[in-house]
Amino acid sequence: MLKRETETLEFKKSTGEIKEGVISLSSMLNKNGWGILYFGIKNDGTIVGQQIGKETTSDISRAIKINLKPRISPIIELISEEGKDIIKITVRGEDRPYSAYDRYYIRSDDEDLIMTSQQLETFFINRNYDYGAWEKKDSGVGIDAVDEDLLIRYIQKANECGRLNFVYKDAFTTLTKLKLLNNDHLNNAGYYLFSNRKPLLLKLATYPTDERISFSDMKQFRGNIYECIDEAVKYVMNNIRWNARIIGMERKEVPEIPLEAFREIIINSFAHMRVNQTSFNEIYITPSRVHIYNPGSLVPGTDPEMFANREQGSMIRNPLIATVLYCDRSIDAFGTGFERVFRLVNKSGFIYRNNQFGFSFEFLRSNIESFTDLINDPVNDLTSDERKILDIIRSGRKLKKEEISREIGKSTATVQRTISKLTQKGYIQRTGSNKTGFWIITDERRPGRNLETKNN
């Protein structure tokens, strides 16, 4: 055992000093990225032992997770020295600066000093500029974890966009060209972009009131960056209001929030997120707003309007991830996302917040009265697949399930399930025999308005 405290070592006589211990962990993390705390040792190195009860270690873990932010996962060990029980806590983290009980500390020799405002500002600026180093680190996951179908589709799209120009040969060659490999392992950027191990957590919820006391829908989704982007966009599309407008001879559905705007914010939330074991992106929808959050703040001293007005150049948290998203045009151009959103949405139509823990963007939803036509409309509670199939039936084309499957890019089993749901909901009904019959649009959902279109 070491006999004195250092910049990475702290002694506490007992867990009665848990608050001081958590503060020491935060200061050691901020100074060195790691630290060790012992309970059961005086600050002069004398081992006195720690009484250990049934809930002792869980109480320590809970105190650390609640009061040390961003959250980390401590390693807690029960060991014996000189015949006495002591507790060893080891922490490591790269998401500096860490706060303890809402204050920031820095280690100096064996002391925990409160950070000055200048020190804290420097930490946040350096964290944003240097975070790209995380992407290049070895994830420890082999190339066998790659979703190769996703990777092939990505290369095809990037070639079509004209931003890449090479033929897919194999995963190893492709990932090497994209700089997503460390020897035979995916680096972190490659792991979070193309892994099939579901590395990211996305939380989604819809609330019937703005107070968010209870939810009407809540789900947790796991996937890679591309899967999470798709799921997030689909969730918003299925839970906002749409208005039906007649443009020329066609009926068009127009969302209350421009699709390009919320898609831009969603993609940016994954391109600029800060990733650790406990972080997650979040989307929730209330009657008045669509809230999109990512764990990763803007550089202190910057503001979305500075980027939109081109007063500030692009400052990319995850340059490797952003470059991959740029090549298939998920990101249209670096540093122009806020500019496009501000162009599409009136300034009175959104709110954004930025702090040391993350960035949130809220679209304020349109007045519900302006969407009265849609609220009673048959497509209001439809999924994307249901809308597509409903439009095919409405068009008058007599397509078999296999043909619908090819047209919307889904399996015949999915098409059959979707048709069954549309029938159960009363949107469509079958006329004629199973062999020669067809589906028609019913008008049961909209009394007084004839929507029937026969497929003949």
What are the boundaries of each domain within the chain?
9-115, 128-377, 381-441
Alpha carbon distances (Å) from 295 to 26, 85, 173: 19, 38, 32
Pick the CATH number of 9-115 from 3.30.565.10, 3.40.50.460, 3.30.950.30, 3.40.50.300: 3.30.950.30
Residue 275 has pLDDT above 90, yes or no: no
Side chain identity, residue 227: E
Which residues have C-beta within 8 Å of that of residue 370, sequence separation ≥ 6? 243
User: By the 8 A CB rule, do 244 and 377 touch?
Assistant: yes
> How confident is residue 341, by pLDDT bands cut at 50, 70 and 90?
confident
Sheet of 217-223, strand order: 217-223, 200-206, 281-285, 289-294, 358-364, 350-355
Specify the higher pLDDT residue, 94 or 109: 109
**In Å, how far from its chain's centre is CA 380?**
26
What pLDDT, on a 0 to 100 scale, did the predictor assign at position 364? 92
Residue 396 has pLDDT above 80, yes or no: no
What pLDDT, on a 0 to 100 scale, did the predictor assign at position 78? 94
Specify the higher pLDDT residue, 123 or 168: 168
- Alpha-carbon span 226 to 146, nearest angstrom: 13
Q: Exposed e or buried b for every residue in 271-289, given b needs 16+ CB within 10 A?
A: bbbbbbeebbbbbbbbeeb
- pLDDT mean over 155-182: 92
What pLDDT, on a 0 to 100 scale, did the predictor assign at position 138? 93
Query: Using one digit for the tens of pLDDT, what is the confidence trace for 69-87?
Result: 888 889 999 999 889 999 9
What pLDDT, on a 0 to 100 scale, did the predictor assign at position 228? 96
What is the pLDDT of the chain when averaged over all its residues? 83
| Angle (nearest 5°) at CA 331 between 135 and 159 | 95
Look up the CATH architecture of domain 128-377: 2-Layer Sandwich (3.30)
Structure tokens at 75: 């390693």
Domains 9-115 and 128-377 share a fold: no
- The helix/strand count (H/E) of the chain reads as 16, 21
Residue 300 has pLDDT above 70, yes or no: no
Residue 345 has pLDDT above 60, yes or no: yes
Query: Using one digit for the tens of pLDDT, what is the confidence trace for 196-248?
Result: 999 999 999 999 999 998 889 999 999 999 999 999 999 999 898 887 666 66
Residue 435 has pLDDT above 50, yes or no: yes
- Alpha-carbon span 197 to 39, nearest angstrom: 37
User: By the 8 A CB rule, do 243 and 370 touch?
Assistant: yes
Distance in angstroms between the alpha carbons of the first and the last residue of the chain: 86
Residue 8 has pLDDT above 80, yes or no: yes
- Alpha-carbon span 385 to 186, nearest angstrom: 34
- Alpha-carbon span 183 to 339, nearest angstrom: 39
- Say which range, 27-31, 85-89, 340-344, 368-372, has the weakest mean pLDDT: 368-372
Q: Exposed e or buried b for every residue in 186-210, given b needs 16+ CB within 10 A?
A: bbbbbbbbbbebebbbbebbbbeee
- Residue 188: strand, helix, or coil: helix
CATH number assigned to the domain covering 381-441 = 1.10.10.10
| Burial grade of 389 (CB within 10 A; 0-12, 13-18, 19 or more) | buried
Residue 392 has pLDDT above 50, yes or no: yes
Which residues have C-beta within 8 Å of that of residue 294, sequence separation ≥ 6? 268, 269, 270, 272, 273, 274, 281, 358, 359, 360
Query: Using one digit for the tens of pLDDT, what is the confidence trace for 49-62?
Result: 999 999 999 999 99
